[in-house]
Structure 1
Amino acid sequence: MSEISSNASAAGSGATDVRDPNHMPPIGQAIPLGIQHVLAMFAGNITVPLIIANAAGLAGADTVFLIQMSMLVAGLATLLQTIGIGPIGSRLPIMQGTSFAFLPVLIPVAKAAGGLAALPVIFAATLVGGIFHFLIGTVIGRFRGILPPLVTGLVVMTIGLALIPVGVEYMGGGKFAKFVTKDFGAWYHLFLGCLVIVSILAAKFLTKGIASASAILIGLVIGYLVAIPMGMVNADKITNAAWFSIPEPLKYGFDFTSDLAMTAIIGMCLMAIVSAIETVGDISGITKGGAGREPTAKEISGGTMADGLGTAIGAVFGSMPNTSYSQNVGLISFTGVMSRHVVTIGAIFLILAAFFPKIGAIVAAMPNAVLGGAAVVMFGMIAGAGLKLLSDVDMDRRNMVIIALSLGVGLGLKAEPGVVAALPVWATMLLTSGLFPAAFLAIFLNLILPKHLEEI
């Protein structure tokens, strides 16, 4: 891999090849590079279904199924991006996975419905939201000008900052079911969470290559192994899971009619706008970091449509909303390899893994504190990715005002949701998500404020 990286920065035909999305490295290099993309996103992809399963208080078998479907749909959605169908797909090395951005909507729905009743509501909202996201992709190229790095950076940063408390709560033992665990905050939960964080940092900065790129996965494995002799891993979930299973579409059905369903659908459609903005940021990051150019309108439109279609397909199979993964954008910048075929290989590995429920059962048995340690790092990295996008922004008085108001209102309402408790349920859910008000204000203020404010 180091040879590929050096070639990427060298002059000549080699540099042109690896920075071409259509270039196919030798299969001996392409396979490990594809697996590396899976390792970089695997922990994040399974985190969302784990969080929703805990929030709804689901049984082990249902949790395993959600994890299984998250792998299948991530692989299928990635193929939509890398291979494409007609105008759908960016034909860029974009890895798809379950989206953290929708958690502020999904968690309250899971808590409110509880148990299996939550899933038909979630998947109905995901289907409608995915279709709406797809339609956004057909026109988003015309509105590219209202999504500068100031807006996309704020959106990505807000996602990370709004979700960091989720990781911290998991480190304490978890409090997303209908009750707080009796030993919430116990020393052994905090010990495991901190062990995972330290292990991730050690793997990231004391190793190189695939080990460094898969630091999150290494941290999870170390925390998991240490939790076993501590008696914190439920082996029954693993023992009872099947070795092989064919995915079952529409297993939980759809609920489009309940009051909660309508609230969830509105929330998912509005969050789809925010997710589309995030996707534009990721596409820009790939073309800039991997090829040193701006993305084309066709790439932005096709990538956004693939995002939406992947989410809609996920609803049918039983997966949470999908989106492009920012950590894989960073991986492309690190390796210098722009080949979409490498990411296609990673997608095939994900699809194959989905047919073996034992893999999902092993993940489902993971203690909350172990997941929490990794989540704190991952959510923090998302916030850092937003900060990196903002680093290209001129921090003048105008832009500082936009940043201050967007973050202040967005995160403030999330921290104190009682301020808007008197509003309708759907409005309260959106305003306290952290993400929607921040994104709306960033776009609105960027459009109406003068480009150059006079010094006072």
Structure 2
Amino acid sequence: MKEEKDALFKYDDKPALKDIIPMGLQHVVAAVVGIVTPGIMIAGVSGLNQSDTTLMIQTSLLFSGIATLVQVFQPFGIVGSRLPVMMGASFAYVPVLMTIGADFGIATIFGAQLIGGVVVILIGFFIKKIRILFPPLVTGTVILSIGLSLFPVAIKYMAGGASSDNFGSLQNWLVALVTFGIVFYLNNFSKGTLKLASILCGMIVGYVLALFLGMVDFEPIKNASLFQVIMPGHFGLSFKVVPIFTLIIMFIVDSVQAIGQFTATTVGAMDREPTDKELSGGIMGSGLTNVIGGFFGSVPVATFGQNVGLVSVTKVINKYVFAFASAVLIIAGVVPKIAAVLTTIPQPVIGGATISVFATISMTGIRMISSQKLTPENTAVVGLSLAFGVGVALSAGCLNGFPAWVDTIFGSSEVILTTLAAVLFNLILNHGKRSKEKTEPA
């Protein structure tokens, strides 16, 4: 009996099913809200109907499960990290994808994602050579800008959605704040499963309140079939230079962020740094899954930080736990009724639950920045990058004198300009300084 329990803390051992199930479900609970919410947001601005929104949620669930299996079991021996990580639709891409979807259409998202996935596979081969461009200072600045760019998204959802007739109503804010209050309380004043499932619990309470207030429409569930095979090409593929370039930058940024997630997993739960093979395989696995996902209409997947934290706390690293969690996600992905239930979640509930997630993203960036010495050079890199990135994004029309593609890339999201500025300023202020220090005698 003790040996079966110990198997949970070993990667390749086989624990008892009664031990696998609760550990696996814990990962599903921690991930499922984050997996489905980006798809709902992107579908909303892209003008998709209820049926296609349900399909996008299905593909997000399906490919989150597939991507996790790729990471855990490492097919072909080189694709996948063989580390205990959960993959899911990433909030980091949401600001850029919402802009692309609104301006160019849903097919352009998946065309750009396909090309971006190929680039990520190449990054996996050459990751050691480009890591110099993305030290923790730069990566932290970029992650902070991602969080900042998502704050208005959450607030608009809390108010009911910018396109809704009752935007900003007291009813919307009541549901949003009750949802947020539950998440806040459980996340800060509870322990164990309630703390880990704080977002899910908050959404359940908010959903029930919205149901009593008549804000929930069950029509999508009635119209959804019981089983559906997801066919490739449903949303189409469109290839346009500006969205492709924009998404490639985001994929590069997320690849660097993935290095941090893999490192946090191995250091926190396995007491070691990840090997070059694990990092390379993990990034290539993510790229391959996103290439295939582009054909089927799945939101880009990435490592899930909340599940990394769960692994670090529990030390449970057994691959069969993650295989079980993946199976649950895949089953949910091929049953439209389950996906349709998720489309009935009112926008104030989504906003009230996700503002905590976005705050966590921002604080992750701040922690990475503060882990470095706050020298004049480093503070200049962070401050100037955010000043340009956030300042331009919040100043509508400031790039009107440039070609339209310049405004699309740099004026619609804080993330892209912040990333490029952070890399450039860091090279100017710190790279030459480090080279000089190496040549000077002690």
1:42 to 14, 29, 32: 32
2:23 to 8, 33, 36: 33
Across the aligned residues of Structure 1 and Structure 2, the Cα RMSD in angstroms comes to 2.2
Q: Does 1:170 align with 2:170?
A: no
User: Gaps (5+ residues) in structure 1?
Assistant: 8-13
What residue in structure 2 maps to residue 148 of structure 1? 135
What residue in structure 1 maps to residue 210 of structure 2? 227
What residue in structure 1 maps to residue 402 of structure 2? 423
What residue in structure 1 maps to residue 82 of structure 2? 91
Residues 83-162 of structure 1: pairs in structure 2 closer than 5 A: 83-85=73-75, 86-113=77-104, 118-162=105-149
Shift of residue 436 of structure 1?
A: 1.8
Structure 2: distance between partners of 1:293 and 1:204: 29
Structure 2: distance between partners of 1:266 and 1:436: 10
**Corresponding residue SS for 1:337:** coil
One-letter code of the match for 1:440?
Answer: L
Out of 200-209 and 301-310, give the one that drifted further: 200-209
What residue in structure 2 maps to residue 314 of structure 1? 293
Structure 2: distance between partners of 1:438 and 1:297: 28
Structure 2: distance between partners of 1:21 and 1:427: 48
Identical columns (%): 36
Shift of residue 196 of structure 1?
A: 0.7
Structure 2: distance between partners of 1:183 and 1:373: 17
What residue in structure 2 maps to residue 10 of structure 1? none
Out of 42-51 and 396-405, give the one that drifted further: 396-405
What residue in structure 1 maps to residue 201 of structure 2? 218
The answer (yes or no) to whether the contact 2:139–2:253 under 8 Å persists in 1 is: no
With over 3 angstroms needed to count, the CA separation of the structure-2 counterparts of 1:19 and 1:295, relative to structure 1, is farther
With over 3 angstroms needed to count, the CA separation of the structure-2 counterparts of 1:340 and 1:427, relative to structure 1, is farther
TM superposition score normalised by structure 2: 0.91
What residue in structure 2 maps to residue 78 of structure 1? 68
Shift of residue 417 of structure 1?
A: 3.8
One-letter code of the match for 1:369?
Answer: P
Structure 2: distance between partners of 1:158 and 1:282: 18
What residue in structure 1 maps to residue 440 of structure 2? none
Shift of residue 398 of structure 1?
A: 2.1
Structure 1: distance between partners of 2:165 and 2:424: 45
Shift of residue 310 of structure 1?
A: 1.2
The answer (yes or no) to whether the contact 1:71–1:351 under 8 Å persists in 2 is: yes
**Corresponding residue SS for 2:88:** strand
With over 3 angstroms needed to count, the CA separation of the structure-2 counterparts of 1:419 and 1:240, relative to structure 1, is same
The answer (yes or no) to whether the contact 2:220–2:340 under 8 Å persists in 1 is: yes
What residue in structure 2 maps to residue 64 of structure 1? 54
**Corresponding residue SS for 1:282:** helix
The answer (yes or no) to whether the contact 1:130–1:308 under 8 Å persists in 2 is: yes
User: Gaps (5+ residues) in structure 2?
Assistant: 438-442
Structure 2: distance between partners of 1:40 and 1:206: 17
One-letter code of the match for 1:295?
Answer: P
TM superposition score normalised by structure 1: 0.89
Structure 1: distance between partners of 2:392 and 2:12: 45
Out of 139-148 and 355-364, give the one that drifted further: 139-148
Shift of residue 301 of structure 1?
A: 1.1
What residue in structure 1 maps to residue 372 of structure 2? 393
2:306 to 323, 327, 342: 327
**Corresponding residue SS for 1:418:** coil
What residue in structure 2 maps to residue 364 of structure 1? 343
The answer (yes or no) to whether the contact 2:242–2:409 under 8 Å persists in 1 is: no
One-letter code of the match for 1:220?
Answer: M
Report Cα offsets for 1:118-144 as digits up to 9, x if no partner: 222221111111111211111112333
The answer (yes or no) to whether the contact 1:266–1:426 under 8 Å persists in 2 is: no
What residue in structure 1 maps to residue 429 of structure 2? 449
Shift of residue 223 of structure 1?
A: 0.7
Structure 1: distance between partners of 2:337 and 2:186: 26
With over 3 angstroms needed to count, the CA separation of the structure-2 counterparts of 1:293 and 1:422, relative to structure 1, is farther
Structure 2: distance between partners of 1:96 and 1:111: 26
The answer (yes or no) to whether the contact 1:78–1:94 under 8 Å persists in 2 is: yes
